[in-house]
Amino acid sequence: MLNKLTGCCLLALSSVAFSACDQFGLEDWRGNGQPAPRPKIALTSPNMDARQVVLGPPSRAVGSFSGLYDPQTNVLVSTVAYYTSGESITGVISQPVTEVHLHRGAPGTNGPIVFSFPSLTLPLPIGATVTLSEADEELLLNNDMYVDVHTQIFPQGEVRGPVLRQ
């Protein structure tokens, strides 16, 4: 009788454990009923230039974007840099810079602004932190966002680059 009771208890406990593993996925099971935290994701756009701006300007300016995205909190911490003076013979951006944006949109298409960088003051790089929606997270992780820098001479954007997972 004791063996049957012990066997029933073990069977019930194993059913509960398998249900929990099935709910969270076996690889995520950590024994505390919670899935494993998702790691932060490094993002980059190392070669921002005018060739990537839709109907781009005749500019030889260059820039770069880097970011770190936390999928647990949907927070993106990012920086944008571009040449402003004699730092680069061929890559100087025209002044003044009027806007820097993170946009929705695949390469070759224009899209709506997700976020405007709040400060454009020197020194570079300029940084910003933004909390993304679930929909924007999906676009970000599928390489369907871009960063662009607008200037007074090129208000449609002087340099642009896709935001890519590293």
Which token pair is 57? 């300007």
110-134 per-position pLDDT tens digit? 999 999 998 777 667 888 999 999 9
Query: 0.85 cut: is pTM over it?
Result: no
What was the pLDDT predicted at 11? 33
Strands 75-82 and 62-70: antiparallel
Low-confidence ranges of the chain (pLDDT < 70): 1-33, 84-91, 122-123
What was the pLDDT predicted at 82? 83
What was the pLDDT predicted at 58? 84
What was the pLDDT predicted at 37? 80
Which token pair is 9? 């208890």
Best CA proximity match to 103, nearest among 140, 134, 60, 75: 140
What was the pLDDT predicted at 84? 62
What was the pLDDT predicted at 125? 84
What was the pLDDT predicted at 94? 80
Q: What are phi and psi of 52, to 5 degrees?
A: -90, -10
What was the pLDDT predicted at 85? 53
Give the start-end residues of each E strand in the chain: 41-49, 62-70, 75-82, 97-104, 113-116, 126-131, 145-151, 159-162, 164-165
What was the pLDDT predicted at 136? 97
